[in-house]
Homo-oligomer: A and B are copies of this chain.
Amino acid sequence: MTRSFQTRREFVTTTAAGVGAALAGASTARPLRAAAPYQTGRQIGFAVAGIGNLATNRVLPALRATRLARPTGLITGSPERVMPLATEYGIPPDSIYTYDDMDRMRDDPSIHAVYVVTPNGLHRDHTVNAARAGKHVLCEKPMAVSVTECEEMIAACDEAGVKLAVGYRLQFEAHHLECIRLAREKAFGALTMIEAGFGFRIGDPSQWRLRMDLAGGGPLMDVGIYALQACRYLTGEEPVEVVAFASKTDPVKFAEVEESLVWQMGFPGGCLGSCSTSYNLSGMNRFRAYGPRGWCGLEPAYGYGGIKGHRSDGAPLDFPHMDHFVTQIDDFAQCILEDRQSKVDGMEGLRDMRVIEAIYESARTGQPVGLQS
Contact = CB atoms under 8 A, between A and B. Distances in A.
A364 to B, nearest CB: 12
Given A270-B248, A368-B366, A262 B295 contact: no
Contacts of A241: 245
Contacts of A272: 245, 247, 260-262, 276
Interface in A279-306: 280-284, 290-295
B192 A195 contact: no
Interface in A156-197: 188, 190, 192-193, 195, 197
A266 interface: yes
A260 B272 CA distance: 8
Residue picked from A259, A272, A295, most chain B C-beta under 10 Å: A272
Tell me whether chain A's interface is mostly helix, strand or loop, or mixed: strand
A266 B247 contact: yes
Interface in A228-263: 241, 243, 245, 247-249, 259-263
Contact of A281 (B275, B292, B367, B368): B292
A201 interface: yes
A295 B283 contact: yes
A274 interface: yes
Interface string A290-326: 1111110000000000000000100000000000000
Contacts of A93: none
Nearest to A245: B264
Q: Using C-beta atoms within 8 Å of the partner chain, give the interface range for chain A.
A: 35 or more
A35 B295 CA distance: 52
A227 B44 CA distance: 52
Interface in A180-228: 188, 190, 192-193, 195, 197, 199, 201
Contacts of A92: none
A337 B266 CA distance: 50
Nearest to A297: B283
B295 A192 contact: no
A129 interface: no
8 contacts: A192-B278, A195-B274, A195-B276, A199-B290, A201-B292, A245-B264, A281-B290, A282-B295
